[in-house]
Structures are given as structure tokens and as C-alpha cells.
Amino acid sequence: MNLRLLLRSAAVLAILTTTVRAEENRYDLIGRMLMPFVNVFARTTSNPNRAMSFNLRLEQMTDLPPELAGSHAEVALEYPDKLRVHGPFMGEDIVVCRKGQQIWAYPGSKVEALLAAAAEKKKLPKVDPKFQLRPFQLPIPEQDLVLLPAVFQVKDVGSEPLDGNPCRVMDVYLMPQLTRSLKAQGWGARVWVDADAKPVRISLAKPGWMVALRFENLQFVPKLPESTWDPTTEQSGDVLRLDPKRYMQLLGTLVK
């Protein structure tokens, strides 16, 4: 069964099972939460906001090393092909940035050492030699975005304030048909959403593992400053330039 048919089946099922206004509202809220993210990635949209930035704070994780508790990652993204991530990876504070086909990492000496160590241990991810970086794209056909909330099963958990900010709490699961298609059995999420329909906290879990992340300073804007994608003066002396293949190997090494 292809993804579009799954989406349409999920939409029909959601309509059939939504019998009271309260149930409709929770799906509406999930849709309002997701659409600003979707609009950043969509190839065609009337929404002017094509960029976003946010911080992620790691609150909890299974087998979390003590030194990573409370650690932050800074993320900036702009359509169609700009991404910057700054955070602690493998014991090092690292910046990785993509600006179209130009990619750099800082501190270059430490990143190069990480890649060399992974290669020596034969743990460097394999990448197709013909791999090419492409513009960001959504995993769902854009004509089906109106059905996006229907791919989820959503359950109201209640309300809970986070740092004095009232939040609606919901448990979210993929529809069973999509779970099987994506081989994501056992996965679930709990999301805390504020009055502006922005995610404040999210926990992801599967049997035997969980992670809880806090969103901070989440902003959607038409464009980020051009300086976002260039090394600072302080960084410029230790920058490693990467080709697309090496970039993917670095990402695969950092997220292991």
C-alpha cells in the first residue's frame, strides 16, 4: 500500500472515529502545531516563513551520561538547503553547517580526529560514492498535507504548566497502517503544546528507551541572517571543509 493511500485511509478513519467536538480539537491542535514546520519545508506555500531556529535542551534519556544532562543544541534551518547545528557530540562542542553545497565544521581539528578514529575502528558509515546533497523535501506529497493530522492517533492527557506556561499534553502515535509501513512499531510520543500551538516539550519512547527534549526560543521567520551560515572570526582559523560524502559520514558518526 503506498503512502498516499495510507494517508487517505487514515483520514477516512479519523473522520469516522471523531464523534465529539473535543476529539476534533485535539487533531486540530496537532495540525496547528505541525504546519509551521511543514511550511518551512514545503516546495510551494503561501506562508512567508521559510526558516526556523530553536534550542533543544536534553532533559532525560535512557542511559544518559551525567555530563550530558541539561545539555543544549542550537538548530537553524532555512529552505531550501541551509542547516546549522551546534551542540555537544561525543564529548566535543561541535558546529556543523551546510550552506547549499558548501559544508564546514568547527573545530576542524577535532572533527577530523573524530572521523579518523571512526575510520581506524572501521566504524565510518558507508556512503554511495555518487551521493549528492539535494534540497530539503517533505516525506509526504504536498497535495496530501491537508490530511497530515489524520496519520496520527491522538489522546488527550490533560494540562500541565511548564515554567509557568500552561500547556496541553497529548499522547501521539502513528496510525497502525503507517507504523507497519515505516517499521516504527512500539514508538510513541508525548507532547506539551502551549497556547500558541508551539511544542514546548516532547518525549519519544520505544520499548526499553526514551528521550525527553525541551524546545526553547522556537521562532519561524522568512529568512535568517546570512551570517548564520558562515564561520565567525574566532572560528575561521580552525574550520574543516567537507564534501557531501564526508558530510554524511560525519553526521552518521555523530548520531551513533
**The pLDDT of residue 19 is above 50:** no
The mean per-residue pLDDT over the stretch 171-188 comes to: 82
For 21-47, give one letter per residue: b (16+ CB within 10 A) or e: eeeeebbebbbebbbbbbbbbbeebee
The count of C-alpha atoms lying within 13 angstroms of the C-alpha of 69, restricted to the half-sphere facing its C-beta, is 7
Q: Are 224 and 53 in contact (CB under 8 A)?
A: yes
pLDDT at 122 (0 to 100): 87
Q: How far apart are CA 149 and CA 178, in angstroms?
A: 13
Q: How far apart are CA 153 and CA 94, in angstroms?
A: 37
The mean per-residue pLDDT over the stretch 130-152 comes to: 84
Give the residue carrying C-alpha cell 544532562.
Answer: 69
pLDDT at 183 (0 to 100): 73
The mean per-residue pLDDT over the stretch 143-149 comes to: 80
Q: Are 254 and 109 in contact (CB under 8 A)?
A: no
pTM for the full model? 0.84
pLDDT at 256 (0 to 100): 62
Residue 76 CA to chain centroid, in angstroms?
11
Q: How far apart are CA 155 and CA 191, in angstroms?
A: 11
Domain ranges of the chain: 3-254
The mean per-residue pLDDT over the stretch 74-89 comes to: 95
Residue 64 burial by Cβ neighbours in a 10 Å radius (0-12, 13-18, 19+)? middle
pLDDT tens digits, 25-48: 899 999 999 999 999 999 989 999
pLDDT at 22 (0 to 100): 45
Of 189-193, 245-249, 250-254, the poorest mean pLDDT is in 250-254
Residues listed for the chain: 256
Q: How far apart are CA 254 and CA 157, in angstroms?
A: 34
For residue 123, name the pLDDT band (cuts at 50, 70, 90).
confident
Hey, what's the cell of 50? 521559510
Q: Which three-class secondary structure state does DSSP give residue 78? A: strand
Of 150-164, 176-190, 240-254, the poorest mean pLDDT is in 176-190
Q: Are 110 and 89 in contact (CB under 8 A)?
A: no
Query: With the C-alpha atoms ordered 125, 130, 134, 140, is the resulting torsion angle positive or negative?
Result: negative
**Amino acid occupying residue 249:** Q
The top-level CATH class assigned to 3-254 is: mainly beta
Q: Which residues contact 212 (CB under 8 A, 6 or more apart)?
A: 58, 59, 60, 61, 201, 202, 203
For residue 68, name the pLDDT band (cuts at 50, 70, 90).
confident
Q: Are 119 and 253 in contact (CB under 8 A)?
A: no
